[in-house]
Structure 1
């Protein structure tokens, strides 16, 4: 967990900011922004490959990576890239809420992927996850992720209006702080879910073994 946190900070904040600061003068704002995205893209691909299988979480990661990278490449200028990132976060937040409307909170399916990777039967775990007191927590976590995207979008709008293209590194910092705050809340929610499933989970693990 600690190593993952350090790597996240390095590849999603430290390295991008370093690339941005060292290349914006010789390359210009737009190309410096594109280049600064490379460490995060490579790290995301590494984490995807590490799972060694296609699942809902993997498809989500690759899809968002493809969309965000395509948006960046088509932006044409630094300021357009920043504004397009705002629209991307609005769209991402909308996606989380759509999964709620469909009664398929995406975080529940992420958790199913991780449970399956640990050896649990996906079908039986899905039945447990859809218990009323459990799915409500998954809904709250999904709402949290949706709100995170909307808050980030609003914050980036303010930063762009205040700092223009110089909002780039400030936006990265804000994104990492909010993301880690959301990760903490998500982790707490999963602990609560685990406690509620603790007794059934013991039975499930004994059947699998």
Structure 2
């Protein structure tokens, strides 16, 4: 966990901040912003390949990378790029919210994908995670994803509105800090779901066996 936090800090905050600060003068604000997104993009692809994420989780990551890169390249200038990232963040929050409203919480499908990588059949995991008394917690965890997106996008919008492009350095710092806080809350949510699944298995089958949901915390 500490190693991942350190790598996140380097690739999502430190390197982008350095590229942004030292690239503005030679390249201009817009290209410095574009270049500052490269370390995070490369690191995200690396994590995707290394952790072998597939299906809903993998598709979500690939689409996010594609949309983020396309928006950055088509924005035209630095300020438009920042605002478009805000709108994209709100769009992701809307996707999570719709999954809750349609009772298809993405947090559940992320957990199913991760359990599958541990050798558990998808249909069995999905059926277990959809059990009454457990399903609602996946709805709530997905709600955390919604709130995370709304909070971070709104904070970014406030900083851009208040400081313009010059506020990008603050955006990087506050986004990373808030990202860690929300990731911690989401991880706690997954761990709690694990305890509920264990309890359910014990009540239904009279055993305290290890279930697919015990891998679910890794999906956060």
Same fold per superposition (TM over 0.5): yes
TM normalised by structure 2 equals 0.89
- The reply to whether residue 112 of structure 1 matches residue 119 of structure 2 is no
Distance 1:24 1:133, change over 3 A: same
Structure 1 runs not aligned, ≥5 long: none
2:153 equivalent in structure 1: 153
Cα deviations by residue, 1:73-93 (Å, 9 ceiling, x for unpaired):
101101111111111111111
Equivalent residues in 2 for 1:24-35, closer than 5 Å: 24-35=24-35
CA drift of 1:53 comes to: 5.4
The alignment partner of 2:120 has SS state of: coil
- The reply to whether residue 43 of structure 1 matches residue 43 of structure 2 is yes
Q: Distance in 2 between matches of 1:84 and 1:157?
A: 10
Cα deviations by residue, 1:19-49 (Å, 9 ceiling, x for unpaired):
1111011111100000000000001111111
CA drift of 1:50 comes to: 1.4
Distance 1:194 1:204, change over 3 A: closer
The alignment partner of 2:134 has SS state of: helix
Structure 2 runs not aligned, ≥5 long: 202-207, 213-220
1:195 equivalent in structure 2: 195
TM normalised by structure 1 equals 0.93
Runs of 4+ in 1 over 4 A off after TM superposition: none
| Paired residues of 2:53 and 2:113 also in contact (CA < 8 A) | no
In the alignment of these two chains, the number of paired residues is: 205
Q: Distance in 1 between matches of 2:30 and 2:72?
A: 9
The alignment partner of 2:60 has SS state of: helix
CA RMSD of aligned residues (A): 1.5
CA drift of 1:170 comes to: 1.0
Q: Distance in 1 between matches of 2:135 and 2:178?
A: 24
Q: Distance in 2 between matches of 1:4 and 1:119?
A: 24
| Paired residues of 2:53 and 2:114 also in contact (CA < 8 A) | no
| Paired residues of 2:148 and 2:182 also in contact (CA < 8 A) | yes
Equivalent residues in 2 for 1:122-141, closer than 5 Å: 122-141=122-141
Identify the range of structure 1 (129-138 vs 91-100) with the bigger mean alpha-carbon deviation.
Answer: 129-138
